[in-house]
Structure 1
Amino acid sequence: MHTVPDDRFELPGNFGPGSVWADRTGERTLKGCNQRGVEIPIGHGEGEISPGELLKLALIGCAGMSSDANLSRRLGEDHDMRLWAHGTSDDEQNRYLTIAEEVQLPLEGLTAQEIAAVVTVFGRAVAAGCTVERTVAGGAEVTHRVLGTEEPDTPQTGQA
């Protein structure tokens, strides 16, 4: 299991818990990695996942994890759940204007009141606990810096 990148480049000073990295593997393709040894091929080709798909997966993954404990209390520890995220980027603005999330849960046999409670619990859990959604909705500041080109205290900002 790889817990740090190979030594082609020096580790940045900010490297630590929560750091991820991506290595170029070819034209417009990367291999995304985390410190637990997970590798994800990033691109638009066969067997690769696009950055937009990763964004949508991060959103629904966080929603599912944030709501899991609360839903387990209502639906049982072994309940099924499938989350979906839909949306395509707007070509003119080069960004996603809307990402629609949907969740499928086993609601058969529940009363209308119990279903309403599940919907409320899910929504509250995601609103309170989904760091990814809170970050996206809050418009997080993103900075960019090319290491080795300036002092570490003066990050370059802008679009990539």
Structure 2
Amino acid sequence: MAETSSAAPDQTPTTLWVERTGTRRYTGRSSRGAEVFVGSDTVEGVFTPGELMKIALAACSGLSSDFPLSRRLGDNYDVTIRVSGPADRTTETYPQLDEVLELDLSELDEEARTRLLTTVERAIDKACTVGRTLKAGTKVTLSFDIEG
């Protein structure tokens, strides 16, 4: 079943879905033409769903911090955002996810660094929908569209 994400009032919502493409292998698709390969950790060339969740968190933090970082460091700044956290297989959850933003702030003095990092943290806390959803928890529903 396709998922429709929210969109601005003047935009058509993006439709999201996955299709089974092999044993323990799916292709995630969007109505905007994007694709991602998903499967179990025994399948080469795919992300696991948990890895995609971690990448979504890191990407969301990156996008949320992009404006304050580019405003202070310029449009061509480099950042790598790493996210880790092992799954608890008894509960099939990730009890903790740890993000690390790797930035070169060597050209800033200590006061400017502290101000920028505070601004970045606030921007992520305010605008990262993925992080906010993970921290708050969310209601997930499941329904079936059965033929025959």
Quick one: which of 57, 60, 63 aligns to 1:62? 60
1:48 aligns with 2:51: no
Q: Which letter does structure 2 place at the counterpart of 1:77?
A: D
Structure with max Cα Rg: 1
Q: Which letter does structure 1 place at the counterpart of 2:143?
A: R
For structure 1, list consecutive stretches of 5 or more residues without a partner in the other structure. Answer: 1-10, 150-160
What is the deviation of 1:148?
4.0
Mean Cα deviation higher: 55-64 or 72-81? 72-81
Mean Cα deviation higher: 54-63 or 12-21? 12-21
Aligned-residue sequence identity (percent) comes to 36
For structure 2, list consecutive stretches of 5 or more residues without a partner in the other structure. Answer: 6-11
**Per-residue displacement from partner, 1:57-92 (whole Å, max 9, x unpaired)?**
000100000110111111111111110001111011
What is the deviation of 1:14?
6.0
Asked whether the equivalents of residues 2 and 16 of structure 2 are also in contact (C-alpha less than 8 Å), the reply is no
Distance 1:67 1:122 in 2: 5
Q: Which letter does structure 2 place at the counterpart of 1:129?
A: A
Is the partner of 1:66 in helix, strand or coil?
helix
User: For this pair of structures, how many residues does the alignment match?
Assistant: 139
Q: Which letter does structure 2 place at the counterpart of 1:30?
A: Y
Q: Which letter does structure 2 place at the counterpart of 1:137?
A: K
Asked whether the equivalents of residues 25 and 38 of structure 2 are also in contact (C-alpha less than 8 Å), the reply is yes
Match of 1:74? 72
What stretches of structure 1 move > 2 A for 4+ residues in a row?
Answer: 11-16
Distance 1:65 1:78 in 2: 14
Match of 1:30? 26
Distance 1:48 1:13 in 2: 21
Distance 1:116 1:79 in 2: 17
Q: Which letter does structure 1 place at the counterpart of 2:79?
A: M
What TM-score comes out, normalization by structure 2 length?
A: 0.87
- Inter-CA distance 83–42: structure 2 relative to 1 (3 Å threshold): same
Distance 2:23 2:3 in 1: 28
